[in-house]
């Protein structure tokens, strides 16, 4: 199994990504680290614990609170998209505290303990990852591969026309991460998520019909986002974060990818968080692999099979 940490702003598809880390036999999830993003910080922590509980692993995986706001800016949330992030599930169902160790310290420690072997799946703003790289100059080299959900590579952002949410929220952190020397794989919002990782009515009905506790959990937590997506003309739920985790564990789902130099805009008037992806004609060294196409049917089958599993206590 692949040793990994998931760094998350836990709401909706972040929860599904946690299920991937918790339930896929290919995954050895060593910790969950929390970063400020989608919904309130305490709510995100609770959402992560609720997800562990749904997977029958409430006691099994450490959850660490990391940075509570971006490096240089006030927090931006996405409550308008995700609601509370779990479709109103009760906080009481997951009664456990987070670890005392800060998320950034946990990332640095685990990467050093498993140097060259630990992968990190970063599915929120990159504040914790940038902070870990600043704290330990060896962090970037110790991490085997950093999978990043973020960016939108042709001007179809989801929070502004130019930017995808995770890069928009903490552009300075994102810029620092691409300059830090990590082995990076990027899973962008557009075109990848919007064209390959939207579960439409038939897919959602197929999951609901499974009738398992995990399928019910999935349907419930995706409810608010589905409503939002429909209001903006997307007929289904979006799964960028779980796709990112799945691609680490199952690289065979990747159909096409390219080497790019990725840099992130921090100061543009209308382009905050824009990810510039240079494809080789500008004299810039590639610093990331950008996933350009995936096996969409294979990904849906993969998640459906995961949600069909009984929860083992
Ligand atoms: C990203 O933004 C968040 O709302 C989702 O959790 C995902 O990580 C997509 O832009
Ligand atoms: Ca996320």
Per-residue pLDDT, 94: 63
For the chain, 313 residues long, the average pLDDT of each consecutive 10-residue run is: 98 98 98 98 95 91 98 95 90 77 98 98 98 98 98 86 96 98 97 92 96 96 92 94 98 97 95 92 95 97 97 74
Closest protein CA for atom 2 of ligand 1: 165
Label the pairing between strands 63-65 and 184-187: unpaired
How far apart are alpha carbons 72 and 76 in whole angstroms? 12
Question: What pLDDT score does 252 carry?
Answer: 98
Atom of ligand 1 nearest to the CA of 13: 6
pTM of the model: 0.97
DSSP string, 142-185: HSS-EEEE---TTS--SSSSS--HHHHH-HHHHHHHHTTT--EE
Q: 199 CB under 6 A from ligand 1?
A: no
Q: Could you identify the atom of ligand 1 that is nearest to the CA of residue 12?
A: 6
* Gap between the Cα atoms of 282 and 5, Å rounded: 34
User: What is the C-alpha separation between 218 and 220, in angstroms, rounded?
Assistant: 5
Pocket test for ligand 1, best of 70, 123, 127 (most atoms within 8 A of CB): 123
The dihedral over CA atoms of 223, 229, 305, 256, expressed in degrees to the nearest 10, equals -160
Q: What's the pLDDT score for residue 301?
A: 98
Residue 208 to residues 213, 215, 216, 217, 222, Cα–Cα distance (Å): 10, 6, 7, 10, 11
Which one of 166, 190, 237 would you pick to mutate in the ligand 1 pocket, going by the greatest count of ligand atoms within 8 A of its CB? Answer: 166
Cα R_g (the chain), whole angstroms:
18
66 CA from centroid of ligand 1 (Å): 17
Say what the pLDDT of residue 246 is: 98
ipTM: 0.98
What whole-number distance in Å separates Cα of residue 72 and Cα of residue 67? Answer: 12
Residue 216: strand, helix, or coil: helix
Q: Which atom of ligand 1 is nearest to the CA of 152?
A: 10
Is the C-beta atom of 165 inside 6 A of ligand 1? yes
């Amino acid at each position: 199994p692949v040793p990994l940490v998931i760094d998350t702003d836990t709401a909706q598809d972040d929860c599904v990504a946690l299920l991937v880390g918790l339930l896929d036999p290919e995954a050895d999830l060593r910790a969950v680290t929390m970063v400020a993003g989608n919904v309130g910080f305490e709510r995100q922590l609770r959402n992560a614990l609720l997800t562990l509980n749904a997977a029958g692993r409430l006691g099994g995986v450490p959850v660490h609170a990391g940075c509570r706001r971006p490096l240089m800016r006030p927090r931006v949330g996405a409550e308008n998209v995700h609601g509370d992030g779990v479709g109103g599930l009760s906080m009481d169902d997951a009664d456990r505290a987070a670890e005392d160790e800060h998320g950034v310290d946990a990332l640095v420690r685990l990467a050093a303990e498993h140097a060259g072997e630990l992968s990190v799946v970063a599915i929120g703003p990159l504040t914790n990852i940038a902070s870990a790289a600043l704290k330990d100059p060896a962090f970037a080299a110790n991490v085997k591969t950093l999978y990043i959900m973020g960016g939108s590579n042709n001007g179809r952002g989801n929070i502004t026309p130019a930017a995808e949410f995770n890069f928009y929220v903490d552009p300075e952190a994102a810029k620092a991460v691409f300059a830090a020397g990590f082995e990076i794989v990027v899973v962008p919002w557009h075109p990848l998520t919007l064209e390959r990782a939207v579960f439409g009515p038939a897919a959602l009905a197929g999951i609901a019909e499974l009738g398992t506790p995990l399928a019910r959990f999935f349907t419930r937590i995706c409810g608010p986002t589905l409503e939002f997506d429909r209001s903006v003309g997307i007929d289904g739920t979006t799964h960028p974060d779980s796709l990112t985790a799945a691609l680490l564990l199952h690289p065979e789902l990747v159909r096409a990818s390219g080497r790019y130099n990725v840099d992130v805009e921090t100061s543009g008037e209308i382009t905050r968080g824009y990810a510039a992806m240079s494809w080789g004609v500008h004299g810039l060294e590639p610093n990331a692999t950008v996933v350009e196409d995936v096996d969409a049917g294979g990904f849906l089958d993969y998640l459906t099979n995961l949600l069909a599993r009984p929860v083992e206590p």
